[in-house]
Amino acid sequence: MVLRAKAMEELAPTEPFKRPAWPGNAAAMSKCKVCKAPAIIDLPRHNANFCGEHLQQLCRRQVEKAIKDFRMLEPGERVLVAVSGGKDSLAVWDLLVDLGYQADGVYIGLGIGEYSDESGGYAQRFADERGLTLHTIDLRDEYGYDVPTAAKATRRVPCSACGTSKRHLFDRAAHDGGYAVVATGHNLDDEAAVLFGNTLRWDIDYLARQLPVLPGDEHFPRKVKPLVRLTEREMAAWCIVRGIDYQVEECPMAAGNRHLGYKETLNAVEARSPGSKASFYLNFLDNMAPILAESRQTVVEGLGLCERCGAPTTAGGSTGPGGSTEGGAPRVCAFCRIVEKSAAHEPVPVELVTTQRNGRRR
């Protein structure tokens, strides 16, 4: 039976995993475009319906095309997958292993109450059931803070501290573990929403860096997004067909995030004009990204090395790697500044941060 978008959002994995019944009814039966068997999902942007087997075939081909077209991975490279316990990160890990890549995972415990505990459990069970390697990092145990505390200590939205921490620690884990590449589960919906927000603000620096591949060097790994040609709904269907149990709840810290609003706006456009998100994002890569190459190079040339942890950073101007700024102040990356402020702060319960954010929205 055909999966509808709203039904996909409501599908919640059970514990242990049991495949949910496909929403719909006998009157809504349709046939797979490829084999004419009963379809399980309709994909308006492809003007097609697919059974479970041919949905998997479509997803594999889209990931293979992204890897080839954007030169994401080379044969024999060790890949570290940034895992959250959600559908997209587990799906990209599953796809890369399915396609023959040597891929391990890394999970960061962010200290977001029960949400983090549950998410880590999904990631660990996925790895254990498939005999895969999962590295784990705990912010509170290893760096003395968590995301709710960092949000309070830095007086910034939780997503800012969370994103900065994850980017730094994924890079560090890859560097220390000898991985050439970090792969993330960013999908087409994610990339189109970020592009939409950056375009509304005409944020040239962010637009210049919004690529499916960011080159690495001796200080940090290459970063790749193999799911940029696939949607959230397709990844949810992949997980169901493949028997992957995942965290279905949104992060409580993300309530009110503009990114979610941008997704809703683009979903409305997509419903009226299927394929709009793919055209918006992929045409940006073809037509605008090359024009922004000079801005991208300027950012790269401005990178120095943090004097505390040795990570690349734009902090302190462009005096060159490893040195202090022209005024003599130390060059300190955003992550080290978060650690400095947050580790000295009293722990903050997640409920306090979410309550305050909900109060401000009202």
pLDDT tens-digit series, residues 343-352: 999 999 888 7
Per-residue confidence (pLDDT) for residue 325, from 0 to 100: 47
In the predicted model, is pLDDT for residue 321 greater than 60? no
Helices first, then strands: H and E counts in the chain: 15, 10
Per the structure block, which two tokens stand in for 336? Answer: 């080290």
pLDDT digits (tens, 9 = 90+) for 108-142: 999 999 999 999 999 999 999 999 999 999 999 99
Q: How far apart are the first and last CA of the chain?
A: 40
66, 110, 222 from 72: Cα distances, Å? 8, 28, 8
Q: Report d(CA 249, CA 84) in Å as an integer.
A: 12
Per-residue confidence (pLDDT) for residue 327, from 0 to 100: 53
Residue 313: beta bridge partners? 304
Per-residue confidence (pLDDT) for residue 329, from 0 to 100: 73
CATH number of 5-361: 3.40.50.620
Per-residue confidence (pLDDT) for residue 274, from 0 to 100: 96
Residues 6+ apart with CB under 8 A from 294: none
> SS3 for 321?
coil
Per the structure block, which two tokens stand in for 147? Answer: 């995301």
17, 309, 319 from 250: Cα distances, Å? 19, 32, 41
pTM of the full predicted structure?
A: 0.87
Per-residue confidence (pLDDT) for residue 356, from 0 to 100: 56
**Mean pLDDT, residues 157-186:** 95
**Mean pLDDT, residues 57-73:** 98
When comparing pLDDT for 202 and 357, which is higher? 202
Q: How many CB atoms lie within 10 A of CB 154?
A: 20
Q: Report d(CA 7, CA 12) in Å as an integer.
A: 10
In the predicted model, is pLDDT for residue 223 greater than 60? yes
pLDDT digits (tens, 9 = 90+) for 148-167: 999 999 998 899 999 999 99
Residue 269: alpha-carbon gap to chain centroid = 23
CA-nearest of 39, 47, 15 to 122 is 15
In the predicted model, is pLDDT for residue 14 greater than 70? no
Residues 6+ apart with CB under 8 A from 174: 80, 106, 180, 181, 182, 220, 221
Q: Report d(CA 293, CA 81) in Å as an integer.
A: 27
Per-residue confidence (pLDDT) for residue 314, from 0 to 100: 84
CA-nearest of 336, 316, 311, 312 to 161 is 336
Of 67-81, 258-272, 293-307, least confident by mean pLDDT is 293-307
In the predicted model, is pLDDT for residue 297 greater than 90? no
